[in-house]
Structure 1
Amino acid sequence: MYIEESKPYFQSYLRKINELFNSNVNIEEFIAILTKNERNEDILFSYLELIKRFNANKMSEHTMGAMIKSIVLGVEEIIKDYKEEKKLLKCLKSLADDENLFKTYIIQEYEDYHSSDELLELLDNLISENNQSLEQYLAIYHASRNYLAHYNIDMNKFFWGEDGERRIISNTIDAVLIILFRIETMKQKSIEGK
């Protein structure tokens, strides 16, 4: 019910979803797809709470950090469960339309960076490429997940960005919703194909 009443918060994702997947989903279909199971609903509820805190300017570093970690790491479990695979990178590759393109975007842990600041800089550069493909969002998710799982969150850099544009947090949330949509539509296609 809470998610249904919060449709306006999801409206901005429709254009992006429809462009990425060459579809024509409306808001009701989008919400129905995203709320197919309780785990997705929990993530969406946390997303709404995070956004409402941003909009109300009620931000506690610890609360906001815990919320985004919960969202991103919760999606990791959904991805791994769907693909029945323990290695996240393999799972993300299988969600990509173009595995080779995905490989060009991926930021390799311990090869491309050695600190949280380096990872955030690479992540910001990846976002700035502005190609907006499924593969780019999968790589954004992967880098954000690595940052949140392994480092203390620098609220100014991760949430606000050096220029105050909120690019990293916004694109991380975009990636989360895109991945949930992708998984649910892939499940539906496999059911229809049987």
Structure 2
Amino acid sequence: MSLLRTASLVAAANALCEQLQHARDPGAAFDAIGSATLHALGPGLLTINVWHAGPAQIERLWSSHPSAYPVGGRKQKGDSPWRRQLLERGEVFVGEGDAALAAVFDDVQLIRALGCTAVVNVPLYCQSRVIGTFNYLADRSAWSPAEVAALRVLAALAGSAVRDCLEARA
């Protein structure tokens, strides 16, 4: 990695840490993490969601495309291999290509319209249980291990803000 690229990543990481330190609410934290994600990985769709296990619903807390994916939107998530992998076992899901997206998402037409061809879904945890998801979709033929790792780190930063949202509702 070039010295210039390293310096840019360090500056971006420091800026994100400062923004999170001063975030007054989960929305401000989501804004900072969302901006950092799109800056680091390029244009795409990022959503941060809470998982309601009882009714088996995902609720959107933050969206980089609120006109297409508004905050507060909910999706029913019935039993599926995707649900078992991501929401029950808490394992990262990586989907690449149209067939992978169509197999998992019922709104694949909207995803395609946004120019997205691949997804990484990262489970968010609190006390060893999945409380939400961090979903990044973009135009990729394949995800690199470095991109998946970066998304896992950014998702981990979002976990406490999702937990704060849940606690505020309780």
- Report the TM-score, using the length of structure 2 for normalisation: 0.29
Structure with the largest fraction of strand: 2
Higher helix share: 1
